[in-house]
Amino acid sequence: MVAKIEMNPVRGIRTFPSFPVVMAVVGTEEKNIITLALVHVFSFNPPMIGIGVMPSRYSHELLHRSPDFSVNIPCKELVEETLFCGERSGKDVDKFEETGLTAVPGKRIGSPIIDECIVNLECRKVQVFDTGDHTWFIGEVVCAQTVDNFDRERALLYWAGEFRTLGELIRGR
């Protein structure tokens, strides 16, 4: 048997090797950006994405009020903007103004997308539920856009306080 050390379960779940990191945008007039690592595909067909947001976030209230949100995947060049939107609250600052990121109207939803991101997924809210300390907002992806030269190696990942990009390929198809 492999020797193992038992750890506190709360610390144990922090061993998950890497998360995607996205900037979600919610709201129309009162639009806000929030950086999220709790983001996952909940269904491939129909395409559904869930974002996990703590009730203490300003975006939580906006997400409850809004029928939709966008999920935007930043490239490595946007690391500072991504961090800023994950450290400051829309209660206090206009994150579009402060970061210089560009809000472009969604094609199918009221919430805008972020022009500079390499992927934009427009989501219509279809389910909301609470799990422990987060609320999951599940959205059906009703419009998806990516840059022409989409290169997944430029997409940001996040783990334990560190931003990364994809590493070594261990086995191809």
Ligand X SMILES: Cc1cc2nc3c(=O)[nH]c(=O)nc-3n(C[C@H](O)[C@H](O)[C@H](O)COP(=O)(O)O)c2cc1C
Which of the stretches 30-38, 72-80, 102-110, 139-147 binds ligand X when contact is defined by CB under 6 A? 30-38
Q: Which residue is nearest to ligand X (CB)?
A: 86
CA distance 113 to 122: 8
Choosing from 69, 96, 137, 158, the residue that interacts with ligand X (CB under 6 A) is 158
Our CB check for ligand X shows the closer of 6 and 133 to be 133
SS (H, E, C) the chain: CCCCCCCCHHHHHHHCCCEECEEEEECCCCCEEEEECCEEEEECCCCEEEEEECCCCHHHHHHHHCCEEEEEECEHHHHHHHHHHHHCCCCCCCHHHHHCCCEECCCCCCCCEECCCCEEEEEEEEEEEEECCEEEEEEEEEEEEECCCCCHHHECEEECCEEECCCCCCCCC
9, two tokens: 């379960």
CB of 44 to ligand X, least distance (A): 21
Which of the stretches 4-12, 52-60, 68-76, 137-145 binds ligand X when contact is defined by CB under 6 A? 52-60
- The residue count for the chain: 173
Choosing from 20, 42, 52, 142, the residue that interacts with ligand X (CB under 6 A) is 52
Which of the stretches 4-12, 28-36, 71-79, 137-145 binds ligand X when contact is defined by CB under 6 A? 28-36
Choosing from 64, 76, 88, 154, the residue that interacts with ligand X (CB under 6 A) is 88
Residue 20 binds ligand X (CB under 6 A): no
CB of 137 to ligand X, least distance (A): 11
Our CB check for ligand X shows the closer of 46 and 128 to be 128
> Residue numbers of the site for ligand X (CB under 6 A)?
21, 32, 34-38, 52-54, 57-59, 83, 86-91, 158
